[in-house]
């Protein structure tokens, strides 16, 4: 073996050894990064539904949960099918369609109230907004019999284009038992009279009539106001001014029209949409607000921050499998083995609604 060949062989061995050490070093450096990535994935995991409902014909938009007082395991979910030839769909707690109401002219949102006296009988009702006829449509539960005499005209006399096109609806029952409908529209005035509040009562013939009590509420004019939610016990009404935040007012008209808070102003990817209220006590719980563009919900304290009921700091953001969610609803009532701590329902693209266990939404951070 020549001296030159021996030198080359020695250099080759040294290079091989160095490369091997470098590879081991790179592998060791990469290992913690992989662990960090796994941890980040766990923190942003997507919550999966227990059930996805049967599909509707056109386009789901908003759900409402009806609790069967005699047997909560037979409670129902009523959802809108938002189309010019739309309707209401009634689902059981497994997401199966059990009843359909067709022929509604673009029903947007729906809400439920209990015990309205009609014909002397306490009657649970589902109320939906019918955009293209400018009417509320009202149905007795659980059989979905119409009790509105063909529909109740809203915003009569508002002649500006779009000012009567209905969207949001939430029902408020005051401590005396008087029932009101808070009604929103696709567009409207920005001078503090955007929401219409109507008293609902028997017309003397077992049908519902509506009487305008007040108009209130600011509107940015930026996009739309669709989702409205009422906290009966605390006496507040909330609505999403899309792209701006969630506005809060007193639900009782006698307490005035001053805006109490504009919350959820930051951290949203796109539109502010569905608002739901989960109650952990008479005055405690959580507000859930849909961040539509990010497929997630921002959660705030229902009672506000300590010492200031109009200050809301985000507690948690949860990602869900539901896509581009509009409306949502939640209950703390146990609904059988599948939903022992309550049910959260939200609209999803694909003509469906998603059912979630409350404990999956709450995780380890919330009650």
pLDDT of 363 strictly over 60: yes
Asked if the structure places residue 123 within a domain, the reply is yes
pLDDT in tens, 231-262: 999 999 999 999 999 999 999 999 999 999 99
Instruction: Give the pLDDT confidence score for residue 302 in this predicted structure.
Output: 98
Asked if the structure places residue 275 within a domain, the reply is yes
How far, in Å, are 39, 93, 274, 278 from residue 345 at the CA level?
28, 10, 11, 12
CB 106 within 8 A of CB 131: yes
Instruction: Look up residue 135 and give its two tokens.
Output: 């009417």
pLDDT in tens, 208-237: 999 999 999 999 999 999 999 999 999 999
Asked if the structure places residue 52 within a domain, the reply is no
Residues 6+ apart with CB under 8 A from 60: 79, 80, 81, 82, 326, 347, 348, 351, 352, 353
Asked if the structure places residue 2 within a domain, the reply is no
Instruction: Look up residue 171 and give its two tokens.
Output: 């029902």
Among 86-90, 190-194, 270-274, 351-355, the least confident range: 270-274
Instruction: Give the pLDDT confidence score for residue 36 in this predicted structure.
Output: 32
pLDDT of 58 strictly over 60: yes
Q: How far apart are CA 323 and CA 276, in angstroms?
A: 17
Provide the residue range defining the domain that includes 184. 59-362
pLDDT of 32 strictly over 50: no
Instruction: Give the pLDDT confidence score for residue 44 in this predicted structure.
Output: 66
Asked if the structure places residue 108 within a domain, the reply is yes
CATH number for position 250: 2.120.10.30
Domain count, the chain: 1
The answer to whether the bond into 142 is cis (omega within 30° of 0) is yes
């Amino acid at each position: 073996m020549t001296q030159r060949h021996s030198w080359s062989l020695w250099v080759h061995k040294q290079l091989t050894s160095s490369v091997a050490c470098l590879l081991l070093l790179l592998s060791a450096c990469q290992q913690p990064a992989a662990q960090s990535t796994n941890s980040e994935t766990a923190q942003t995991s997507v919550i999966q539904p227990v059930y996805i409902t049967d599909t509707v014909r056109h386009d789901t938009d908003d759900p409402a949960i009806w609790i069967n007082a005699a047997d909560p395991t037979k409670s129902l979910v009523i959802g809108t099918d938002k189309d010019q030839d739309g309707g209401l769909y009634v689902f059981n707690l497994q997401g199966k369609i059990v009843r359909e109401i067709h022929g509604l002219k673009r029903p947007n949102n729906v809400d439920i109230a209990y015990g309205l006296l009609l014909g002397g009988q306490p009657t649970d009702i589902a109320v939906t907004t019918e955009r293209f006829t400018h009417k509320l449509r009202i149905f007795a539960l659980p059989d979905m019999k119409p009790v509105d005499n063909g529909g109740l005209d809203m915003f009569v006399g508002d002649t500006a284009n779009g000012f009567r096109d209905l969207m949001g609806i939430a029902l408020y029952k005051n401590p005396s038992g008087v029932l009101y409908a808070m009604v929103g529209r696709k567009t409207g005035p920005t001078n503090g009279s955007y929401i219409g509040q109507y008293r609902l009562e028997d017309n003397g013939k077992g049908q519902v009539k509506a009487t305008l009590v007040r108009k209130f509420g600011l509107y940015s004019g930026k996009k739309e106001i669709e989702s409205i939610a009422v906290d009966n016990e605390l006496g507040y009404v909330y609505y999403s001014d899309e792209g701006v935040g969630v506005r809060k007012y007193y639900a009782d008209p006698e307490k005035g029209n001053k805006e109490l808070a504009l919350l959820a102003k930051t951290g949203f990817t796109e539109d502010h949409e569905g608002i739901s209220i989960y109650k952990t006590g008479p005055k405690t719980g959580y507000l859930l607000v849909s961040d539509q563009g990010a497929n997630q919900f921002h959660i705030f304290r229902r009672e506000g921050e300590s010492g200031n009921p109009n200050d809301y700091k985000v507690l948690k953001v949860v990602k869900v499998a539901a896509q581009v969610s509009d409306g949502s609803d939640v209950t703390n009532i146990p609904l059988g083995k599948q939903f022992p701590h309550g049910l959260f329902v939200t609209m999803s693209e694909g003509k469906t609604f998603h059912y979630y266990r409350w404990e999956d939404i709450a995780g380890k951070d919330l009650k």
